[in-house]
């Protein structure tokens, strides 16, 4: 039964997660379009880094992969009766984590070069 398992996110959490993924792609698209993608790994204190050129595209690719992985994890599957958390995590988790690695790598390279 849907909602009986504590691992199953609520419908609102799923909708907000998908909206967040769309926002991330929009933000990244805007940054790459203007060749100035401002990102930060920290929530506080650190002002972040402005990425340009290849590093901006690398970071955007990571953002895109994370968003696709998150959306595919949260979005309802056609014909699926239940939300199988473990199966979705195994299927879509690697895409998310490869994207996260690209996102972090682009920022680490930019910090290393400066």
**pLDDT, position 55:** 94
- The string of pLDDT tens digits covering residues 48-83 is 889 999 999 999 999 999 999 999 888 877 777 777
Express each pLDDT in 30-53 by its tens digit: 999 999 999 987 766 667 889 999
pLDDT of residue 1: 40
What pTM value is reported for the model? 0.82
The per-residue pLDDT for range 76-109, each reduced to its tens digit, is: 777 777 778 888 889 999 999 999 999 999 999 9
Length of the chain as a residue count: 114
Q: What is the pLDDT of residue 6?
A: 62
What is the spatial distance between Cα 83 and Cα 100, in angstroms, rounded to a whole number? Answer: 24
**DSSP assignment of 4-66, as one string?**
-STTSPPHHHHHHHHHHHHHHHHHHHHHHHTT-EEE-S-SSS---EEE-HHHHHHHHHHHHHH
């Amino acid at each position: 039964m849907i909602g009986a398992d504590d691992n199953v996110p609520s419908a609102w959490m799923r909708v907000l997660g998908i909206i967040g993924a769309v926002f991330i792609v929009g933000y990244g698209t805007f940054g790459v379009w203007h060749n100035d993608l401002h990102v930060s790994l920290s929530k506080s204190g650190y002002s972040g880094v402005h990425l340009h050129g290849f590093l901006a595209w690398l970071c955007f690719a990571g953002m895109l992969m994370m968003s696709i992985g998150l959306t595919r994890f949260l979005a309802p599957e056609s014909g699926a009766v239940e939300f199988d958390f473990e199966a979705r995590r195994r299927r879509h988790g690697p895409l998310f984590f490869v994207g996260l690695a690209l996102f972090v790598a682009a920022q680490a390279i930019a910090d290393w070069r400066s």
